[in-house]
Amino acid sequence: MNKFLILCAIFTSTSLASAQDLFYRSVNVGGVNRQYLVYLPVNFDPSENMPVMFHFHGGDGSPESAMQYELDFRQLADTQRFIAVYPAALLDNKGCTCWNNEGKYSNGIDELGFAIAMTDAMVNEFNADENRLYASGFSLGGSLMWDYACYLSDRFAGIGVIAANMWQWTENDCNSALPIGICHILGTNDFYAPYNGNQYSISVAEQNDFWVSVNGSETTPIETPLAGNVTQYLWPAGDSCHEYMHYRRQSGGHDIPSFSTQAIWDFVSQYELDGIIACGDTCPADINDDSYVNVSDLLFIIDNWGQTNNPADINEDGVVAITDLLVIIDSWGACE
């Protein structure tokens, strides 16, 4: 093939990919080709520097089944301005498209390397915000989230886990985890992840205590009864600016409650790698951190007017608007 045809082929493949909302990408992990399905929100613009929400399907699933039957983030991605990604598990030695977990029963498939390669690719190709990468998983995909929380808490700012508890061996080896935002959803009658634990997985109570300690969260939860025999437990952020949240589904089984998509996004999207966005910030109107609220901060608001998911959205209502401008005016002068 001559150079002209090669250039045409490259241009065509790039144009087709950028013209689609939903398409596959692949990365090489240790000589193995791994795939993931990418959804770009409507009117995608890389200059927005968007967060990314990864969702890992249940055992023997696929990206398509995860999007159709588990968590479909596409509508939220359009309105909240983020990229949704659905990774694909490899076919294992038992003929299952199942995720590998580090530890006792590892089959050698490098899921940590896969996550690192995917996140790097999203940052490099789509200008994703490397400080706001999130992951969720259902069932076996949820079990994988505990590995990511333990070993990749320097990469993911927050995770959502549905119908899965930590394996005993994961907890035993989880010594270097950094604080990370965690939203956990589990039914009391889940056969895969028994609420009180078994010889393979730890109990919800032990898991809660473990991550509240890692996160430095407050030790007494706020308990909120919700509809459908669901109780929300929130351990508020301490000095490390990381919360821990658990939804107890009384009599719930091994399935996905309808509130999961919204609840997980609402929780994790508060986070960047350092913790809850603007947590501990005593002078949020000082956008450029020069200890003064002045013309430079005012101009930053004007330059980003109407933008979403933007540092200029001081009051965090979703859009840069007059309310943010008023915060600048009210805070004018030196930060105290």
Identify which has the larger pLDDT, 134 or 106: 134
| Distance separating alpha carbons of residues 123 and 134, to the nearest angstrom | 13
Which is more confidently placed, 95 or 290? 95
Mean pLDDT computed over 133-146: 98
Q: What is the pLDDT of residues 214-226, one digit of tens each?
A: 999 999 999 999 9
Strand 244-249 and strand 230-235: the pairing is antiparallel
Range of the domain at 297: 292-334
Angle, nearest 10°, between helix axes 322-330 and 295-303? 180
| Long-range contacts of residues 2-8, Cβ cutoff 8 Å, at least 24 apart | none
According to the model, what pLDDT value does residue 6 have?
33
In a domain, residue 282? The reply is no
**Is the pLDDT confidence value at 312 over 90?**
no
pLDDT, residue 333, reads 84
Q: Rounded to whole angstroms, how far apart are CA atoms 180 and 293?
A: 31
* 1 is a domain residue: no
Same-domain check for residues 195 and 244: yes
pLDDT at position 282 is: 65
Handedness of CA 277, 282, 288, 294 (dihedral sign): positive
* pLDDT tops 50 at residue 113: yes
pTM given for the model: 0.82
> In terms of domains, do 167 and 220 share one?
yes
- Separation CA 165–CA 187 (nearest Å): 11
Give me the mean pLDDT over the 82-90 stretch.
98
Mean pLDDT along residues 79-90: 97
At residue 106, does pLDDT exceed 90? Answer: no
46 plus 188 within the same structural domain? yes
Q: Of the residues 276, 300, 326, which one is the last residue of a structural domain?
A: 276
Query: Are the beta carbons of 51 and 132 closer than 8 angstroms?
Result: yes
323 and 187 fall within a common domain: no
Q: What's the mean pLDDT when you consider all of the chain?
A: 90
| Structural domain contains residue 174 | yes
Residue 269 lies in a domain: yes
| End-to-end Cα, the chain, rounded Å | 66
Looking at the predicted structure, is the pLDDT value of residue 1 above 70?
no
Q: Which two tokens stand for residue 43?
A: 């009117």
Q: Are residues 303 and 211 in the same domain?
A: no
Residue ending a domain, among 250, 276, 302, is 276
Is the residue at 203 inside a domain? yes
More confident of the two residues 8 and 36: 36
Tell me the mean pLDDT in the region 17-39: 87
Q: What is the pLDDT of residue 242?
A: 97
pLDDT of 16 higher than 70: no
Are 143 and 112 in a shared domain?
A: yes
Q: Give the C-alpha separation, 336 to 106, whole Å.
A: 53
Find the CATH number of the domain harbouring 308.
1.10.1330
Q: Domain check: are 66 and 133 in the same one?
A: yes
Query: Strands 32-39, 333-334: parallel, antiparallel or unpaired by DSSP?
Result: unpaired
Please say if the pLDDT value at position 15 is more than 70.
no
pLDDT above 90 (res 251): yes
309: pLDDT confidence band, cut at 50, 70 and 90? low
For residue 11, pLDDT over 50 is answered with no
Least confident of 31-40, 51-60, 198-207, 279-288: 279-288
Does residue 63 have a pLDDT over 90?
yes
Can you tell me the mean pLDDT for 215-242?
96
Same domain, 312 and 203: no
pLDDT above 60 for 3: no
Q: Answer yes or no: do 191 and 327 share one domain.
A: no
What pLDDT is stored for residue 73 in this prediction?
98
For residue 66, the domain's CATH number is 3.40.50.1820
**How many Å apart are CA 85 and CA 70, to the nearest integer?**
13
For the four alpha carbons of 237, 239, 242 and 244, in that order, the dihedral sign comes to: negative
The structural domain count of the chain equals 2
180 occurs within a structural domain: yes
Is there a single domain that holds both residue 141 and residue 207? yes
Task: Indicate whether 296 and 154 sit together in one domain.
Answer: no
Q: Does 300 reside within a domain?
A: yes
- Location of structure tokens 């490390």: 240
pLDDT per residue as tens digits for the range 142-183? 999 999 999 999 999 999 999 999 999 999 999 989 999 999
pLDDT at 65 over 80: yes
Domain boundary among 230, 245, 276: 276
Residue 281: inside a domain, yes or no? no
Q: Which range, of 77-86, 198-207, 270-279, averages the lowest pLDDT?
A: 270-279
206 shares a domain with 320: no
Alpha helices in 138-280, H assignment, sequence order: 140-151, 168-172, 204-215, 260-268
